[in-house]
Structure 1
Amino acid sequence: MSAILSADDLNDFINPGVACIKPVETLPKQQPIEDGNPYEVTTEEKIQASQPPPPAQISLTDCLACSGCVTSAEAVLSHSEVLDTLDRHAEIKVAGDGSSVVGQDDGKIFVATVSPQTRASLAATYKVSEREAGHVINQLLSGPYGLRSGGIHGSGFNWVVDTNVMREVALVSAADEAQLALETPSDDLKRPVLTSACPGWICYAEKTHPYILPHLSKLKSPQALTGTLLKSVLSKKLGVRPDQIWHMAIMPCFDKKLEASRAELTSHTWHGQEGDAVRDVDCVITARELLMLAESRNISFPCLPRTPLPKHMRPAFPDPHINDFLFGRRSNKRFADKDTTNTVGTSGGYLHHILQTQQRRNPESSIRTQRGRNSDVVEYSLVSPNGEILFKAARYYGFRNIQNLVRKLRPARPSRMPGAASTAMRKGRARKPGGVEAGGGTDGQDYAYVEVMACPGGCTNGGGQIKIGDVLTLRQVGGTGVENGSTEQEILPMQREWLGLVDEAYWSAEDSGKEDEDVRGPDGDGDVDMHNGDDCGPHDDDNVIDGIDRRKVHQMLQHWSEITSVELDKLVCTTYRAVESNVGKNGGEASEVEKVSALAVAAGGGW
């Protein structure tokens, strides 16, 4: 590497490429030659006079999750969609006990989910706690001074759900899946199991490295799980159609829009209704777009109350067990100390929870940590008292590191050297470089699980988070809404230090049971003994791992399946597909590049 170019100058995101061009199937039809003269020159006027071709349709499903045109345009797609939907449809009101609804046939039940990374970004921006940022978001979406104060119908959101709740489901299910891959690996689930909650990483795998797909976890992300839960239970319990439930997710990255647009994450997979499929997540916005949403309604976001919504504005969820699971008290015990937070990370803690689960299965074992070539690559080994490696896992964040990972997992090419194949067969299998064995080894030296995220630093560094360059302006807007008011002379930290403040806000989440004196049961007060984090029991209970009661999570999943009459796999799991593009490849009468070039010439341009 040149001494002038340092590693810090490199961009850790995918650059646009020719593969992002959607193949064009239709070319303008050539006009017949009237006089049959084969030597007549076709003029530009004759080409333009022909019937123009239909415009190429590019949607989020065609995106490669790169830093190109579609991804850059995503920032302007969503907050206006929220306002248009609220103004186009009256809100279907839900009774306080959640037992009935009142509304028009063309109305909708509006529900939202909020990620902790979004709350952390807003908390760092306005110098408040993560919990207070959550209250302000709830006030904007559901309170009397928020969206309900304006618009054509004065519509707002009936429920705002924390994605941390369904993340517990994802963590427990991921630990079960990792154990299944250890005990009975198959062609559908190979070792190492790779996380699938990051849609940018999934797009990259599907469209560039299809051999990775059997390694991907089959579990839905917390966003997708929440969407399926809300729409399946509400439609069943309240007797409304899935298309009458409008679900918005507030997430840290734009690529979550790609996830919401996937055909695999629709009502057809669990409802079976005829007609068009209904997306489990109708709209995704980010922290920055949330502020644009407030600004569009002339609402000062930092001036909204930082207190919980009044009790009468929080209807109970129709099912009491699901209600307690979504809104009951829970304890963030795994956030207790700095060493734990470093292991958990800011992307949900999949790897940490699986390590804790494996360590519970081997009580005398210990966890060893080894940093890789940079801070976004970390290896973890579960070691027995005699030094045997029982379980090996890793974390890979950022595309530069991901590319190294997928190279290690690439199937070995057969050698052309005479006798090489028979030698490989005698030795059993060839060992891949970097500690990952082809086909998954049994000696404990290969990875059994890898947590993969596209963004360096994890989800708190998502593309939709508030950037340091916008902080000073945002703090000045709203005046007294910001504690310790900001001035033009305020010195802001650099981007890296700013991410540290966001991470600090992310880990400042307190026990949500301290927020409210009441926990909403079926009659509006009291507790429902289904899932209560404060009653999880001591940590030596085999059911409680990493502060999560596995037994109660499994009970909730079984209850969910029973009340919806849908198999659990259809509710919790998803599928992936290899996406192949012929762009730039020779074949047929013309390559895709030639077709695009022909269209450009027909439109009066050219390359």
Structure 2
Amino acid sequence: MGFSGAVVLTDLNDFITPSQACIKPVEIKKTATEGTQIRVDDTGGYYEVRQDGGETKLETASISLNDCLACSGCITSAESVLITMQSQKELYEILTANKLAIAQGRPNDVRTIVVSVAPQSRASIAAKYNLTPLQVHMRLLWFFKQFLGVHYVFDTAFSRDFSLLESAKEFVRRYRQHRATGGVLPMLASACPGWICYAEKTHDYILPFIDTTKSPQQVMGSLVKDYLGSKIGLTPDKVYHVSVMPCYDKKLEASRQDFYNEIYSTRDVDCVITTGEVEKMFGEQGLGIGHVPEAEVESLFTKAVASHDTGIPMLAGTEGSSSGGYLSYIFRYAARVLYGINLTLEDVELGRNGVQVRAGRNIDFKEYTLTLPNDPTPVLKFAAAYGFRNIQNLVRKLKPTSSLRRRPTATSDYHFVEVMACPSGCINGGGQLKPDDDLASASRDWVARTEEAYRWVANKAGVQFPEANSAIGVLYQEWLGGEETEKARVMLHTGYRAVEKTNVSGLAVKW
């Protein structure tokens, strides 16, 4: 499977493939009467044999994705089992259920289906099929809405504007607190679920450093279930939200208990399908991505601007890396708010106007610093650390030198780090498409080609900064009641917790 290295390369103690059953012991309270026995037949079925000779076949235990996430024994090595619970099959079942409800005259049982598409997924499809991301988006619009019957298709780059703004504001707060009282820095990016899973399960001392802002996927989940649902008069359980993402780790993120609505028994993101699974959907329907119609771009919850030539809506670009541009945006935001320095994108990318850019020992690590005139000491020091090798180096520098310390400290002198589990970042996620030649699947040339497709949007339509997205400002007021409200905190932020390991010896289990 295509999980990130940070998820897979944790402290494993077992491995479960889809053809195996979970063997982790589960405590079961005894309720049977004394004298009952268990019989196993030739097919592996279990029967409870009572004293009177009667038998009752025992049901096979069913382990849900939520159960697995609550278990610290094998989740990091059993993702290949968990992902089967979120796939295009689930979306097909909801679509079929909707059609049946309509045919039987049960309109109240029809669920509104929303699909939100990540820009990295669009870029991957564009690179493989020699299309532009705009063409891909319009073809996905036609496929999901007009062909399959989905109600809405949104753009996750839209919800990322919320994530960028909230992350930038949180960084400034932390930076000022750090200068005043020694607050917790560096702030570490939180958009990569593989990185979060790794931190919670192996290095709990890292958790206070991680940005509390939700990822674009989960911000879109809040927006869809809470705001859109209320606007169209539906409760969250009547809206089915599907997210198209570049990596399998996003399935784990969507399944976190933090993003589950206890009142309506529903998740903010009900199902995550990868870029590869979308390609399979076209094949299952007998269609080719390169030969389907295109639907006009819709502006609702889509990062779009009007074309200068035609006035027709088209996708707008985002600055920075193809992993979301967190480093670039937060760096420029902090320079402006903290030091009154207005940096351009070229200043950050090319190292101008007090900005220095330094490559690391490998291509997945890069350092950015900002110095003030006549002062060589950096006032801002950021880094991009992609891949497990660089993550390991990072966590070593954050490890406390004493377990008696009450406040998290770090030997790292960085103020912010954009952390991504996959080498080359999200554009190279495990759920992305691969070239037809399997030998070239890990090629830097292929990653560069996908990266080029991703940047096509910004080059074609220009970059739209989050604060220039007027729809975001409206939603802050209309949906959240302001930028610093309690509802804004709940809808746009989350928390992290250490997952304790439970060491269970198979020799101690009583059968």
Report the TM-score, using the length of structure 2 for normalisation.
0.78
Match of 1:384 in 2: 372
- Quote how far apart the aligned CAs of 1:295 are: 2.3
Three-state SS of the structure 2 residue aligned to 1:160 is strand
- The yes-or-no answer on 1:347 pairing with 2:340 is no
How do 1:166-185 and structure 2 match up within 5 A? 166-185=159-178
1:461 aligned residue: 428
In 2, Cα distance between equivalents of 1:353 and 1:238: 33
> Aligned-pair distance for 1:114?
0.4
1:466 aligned counterpart, secondary structure: coil
Which residue does 1:69 correspond to in 2? 78
Provide Cα deviations, 1:293-352, integer angstroms capped at 9, x if missing partner: 22223333321124526xxxx6x8xxxxxx4876554885665xxxxxxxx221001011
Question: Counterpart of 2:194?
Answer: 200
Alignment length (residue pairs): 460
Could you report, residue by residue, the CA deviation over 1:509-534 in whole angstroms, capped at 9, with x for unpaired residues?
158879xxxxxxxxxxxxxxxxxx88
Give the Å deviation of 1:403: 1.6
- Which amino acid is 1:207 matched to? K
Structure 1 residues 91, 121: closer, same or farther in 2, change over 3 A? farther
**Any conservation in 2 of the 1:392–1:449 contact (CA below 8 Å)?**
yes
Q: What is the match of residue 26 of structure 2?
A: 25
Q: 1:217 to 1:13 in 2, by over 3 A?
A: closer
Aligned equivalents of 1:91, 1:197: Cα separation in 2: 38
Secondary structure of the structure 1 residue equivalent to 2:480: helix
Alignment partner, residue 477 of structure 2:
558
The CA RMSD measured in Å over matched residues stands at 4.0
1:54–1:28 distance in 2 versus 1, CA, 3 Å = farther
Alignment match of 2:397 (pick from 372, 397, 408): 408
One-letter amino acid of the counterpart of residue 449, structure 1: F
CA contact under 8 A between 1:351 and 1:451: conserved in structure 2?
A: yes
Moved more, 121-130 or 354-363: 354-363
Going from structure 1 to structure 2, the CA distance change for 1:103 and 1:236 (only over 3 Å counts) comes to farther
Query: Take 1:22 and 1:215, find their aligned partners in 2: how far apart are those partners?
Result: 35
Report deviation, 1:549.
2.5
Aligned partner (choices 142, 154, 157) of residue 139 of structure 1: 142
Q: Which residue of 1 aligns with 2:95?
A: 86
Distance 1:369 1:62, change over 3 A: farther
Aligned residue for 2:115?
112
Instruction: Quote the Cα distance in structure 2 between the aligned partners of 1:558 and 1:198.
Output: 28
**d(CA) in 1 for partners of 2:83, 2:452:** 28
Deviations 1:75-133 (A, max 9, x none): 6841111111100124999xxxxxxxx98110011111101110111111111111111
Establish whether residue 297 from structure 1 lines up as the match of residue 265 from structure 2: no
Q: Structure 2: which 5+ residue stretches go unaligned?
A: 16-21, 50-57, 307-313, 343-352
The 10-residue stretch of structure 1 (134-143 or 54-63) with the greater mean CA deviation from structure 2: 54-63
Conserved? CA contact 2:276–2:433, under 8 Å: yes
SS in structure 1 of the partner of residue 419 of structure 2: strand
Alignment of 1:252-271 (within 5 A): 252-268=246-262
| d(CA) in 1 for partners of 2:93, 2:171 | 43
Which amino acid is 1:397 matched to?
Y
| 1:13 to 1:45, Cα distance in 2 relative to 1, 3 A | closer
Distance 2:32 2:75 in 1: 39
**Is there any run of 5+ residues in structure 1 with no aligned partner, and where?**
1-10, 35-41, 94-101, 148-155, 269-273, 317-322, 336-343, 416-420, 422-428, 430-436, 474-490, 515-532, 535-545, 584-590, 603-607
> 2:316 touches 2:461 (CA, 8 Å); kept in 1?
no
Q: TM-score, normalised by structure 1?
A: 0.67
Assess if the C-alpha contact under 8 Å between 1:28 and 1:53 holds in 2. Answer: no
Secondary structure at the residue paired with 2:27? coil
1:387-444 Cα offsets, whole Å, 9 max, x none, are 12111111111112112211111111269xxxxx9xxxxxxx9xxxxxxx96268xxx
1:269-308 superposed matches below 5 A: 274=263, 276-306=264-294, 308=296
Answer with 1 or 2: which has the greater Rg: 1
Q: Would you say 1:505 and 2:425 are equivalent positions?
A: no
